Amino acid sequence: MADATEDFFHGLARRGHDRRLRAIDEGSVRFDISRDGRTAHWLVSIDKGDIRVSEEATGGDAVVEADRAVFDRIASGEAYFLTTVLRGEAAVAGSPRLFATVRKLFPPPPASRGTRRRGGGHE
């Protein structure tokens, strides 16, 4: 069975660079993903669009906390990151700039698939 959360983070690591993140000069986001009383930690470091991913429980200029089922939905594109935060299904803390930028890492909102906004992308 596919694991949307792990696939998402491994995909980021393989991506290596994302031009939409080039405005971030040395920032990191830690994702704390919980399931069954255990928490997995993923640290995504961004430097001028270059992306590094590691499994670290410390660090992060911003922190995202979510239940594994919720994050699986976000990572697979079934739910939109910002919507889950606004509904209280995921929590964010730290740098607002990183929070605003990190949403670009996720698949587009379900309602916008198949359509592209001017400028290409979902911002």
Share of the chain above pLDDT 90, in %: 57
Q: What is the pLDDT of residue 110?
A: 65
- Whether residue 123 is contained in a domain is answered as no
Q: Is residue 112 part of a domain?
A: no
Q: Can you say whether the dihedral through the CA atoms of 93, 89, 71, 12 is positive or negative?
A: negative
Asked if the structure places residue 116 within a domain, the reply is no
Q: What is the pLDDT of residues 39-93, one digit of tens each?
A: 999 999 999 999 999 998 999 999 999 999 999 999 999 999 989 999 999 999 9
Confidence at residue 10, expressed as pLDDT on a 0 to 100 scale: 94
Give the global pTM.
0.83
Structural domain including 23 reads 4-106
Instruction: Tell whether 40 is covered by a domain.
Output: yes
Q: Is residue 114 part of a domain?
A: no
